[in-house]
Amino acid sequence: MRTVRTLFTWLGIILVALALWQLAAGAWFRARAERVTDEVTEVVLAAGAEGNAYCPVFAYTAPDGGRRVYQSELCAFPADFAVGDQTTLYVDGERVALASFSAVWLWPLLLGALGGALWVIGKRVLPQDWP
């Protein structure tokens, strides 16, 4: 039966397409956004289902000259940032994103790698007669 092979192949194709879409959407956002330098003003302890994590809060000067505050969604334990650290943000209107490897590349790379592996398993690794 080719059902499992077909499932692996199509799931792999969908994940690779999703990774490419995320890369394209991120590149489009970064092309439109302005880069601003910010400073970590505090590190907030956030309790979650998987335990505690530290979320940095950034203060930056927006392109319109106003002072704004942004709490990152990328929380970590132990804390990735300390108060006073300076980083770079992408700002486009109300949308703000941290200019870091994990914010830009992590999910597209993970989705692309998983999708590529499933695609190869579905097309090449699983035997033709495997149920």
Residue 59 belongs to a domain: yes
Query: Which residues are within 8 A (CB) of 28 and not within 5 positions of it... i.e. 6 or more apart?
Result: none
CB contact at 8 A, 120 and 27: no
Distance of CA 77 to the CA centre of its chain: 17
Place of tokens 């695609």: 119
* Tens place of pLDDT per residue across the chain (131 aa): 468 888 889 999 999 999 999 999 988 988 898 888 888 998 888 876 667 888 889 998 888 888 888 888 778 888 888 888 888 889 887 888 888 787 788 889 999 999 999 989 888 876 666 55
CA-CA-CA-CA torsion sign (126, 11, 24, 85): negative
DSSP secondary structure of 78-121: S-S--TT-EEEEEEETTEEEE-SHIIIIIHHHHHHHHHHHHHHI
Range of the domain at 73: 3-125
Number of compact structural domains in the chain? 1
Please report whether residue 130 resides in a domain. Answer: no
User: What is the pLDDT, as a whole number, of residue 128?
Assistant: 66
In a domain, 131, yes or no: no
Measured in whole angstroms, the distance separating CA 130 from the mean position of its chain's CA atoms is: 36
pLDDT of 104 reads 82
CB 72 within 8 A of CB 59: no
